[in-house]
Amino acid sequence: MAHVKLHIPGPIEVSEKTFKGVSLADDRPSRSGFKDLYAKIQPQLQQLLYTKQQVYISTSSAWA
């Protein structure tokens, strides 16, 4: 397998408590919990952005 170089900030040290908390988080969009959360916040996003149109959330790198 070829060597892969990640261009991300780091490495950084985190406390054991932080590491365990992040390790347990599972908010991937493929999970039904995310769909429920997204539906719940959609009206609030519309109000915040002064629109009646659908608001889409997109995650990406800083270069996107």
pLDDT tens across the length of the chain (64 residues):
566 565 667 777 777 787 777 777 665 656 677 788 888 999 999 999 999 999 988 777 666 6
Assigned token pair, 39: 């539906």
Q: Are 37 and 24 in contact (CB under 8 A)?
A: no
Distance, CA of 38 to CA of 62 (rounded, Å) = 22
Residue type, 20: K
Distance, CA of 56 to CA of 13 (rounded, Å) = 33
* pTM exceeds 0.75, yes or no: no
Distance, CA of 31 to CA of 45 (rounded, Å) = 21
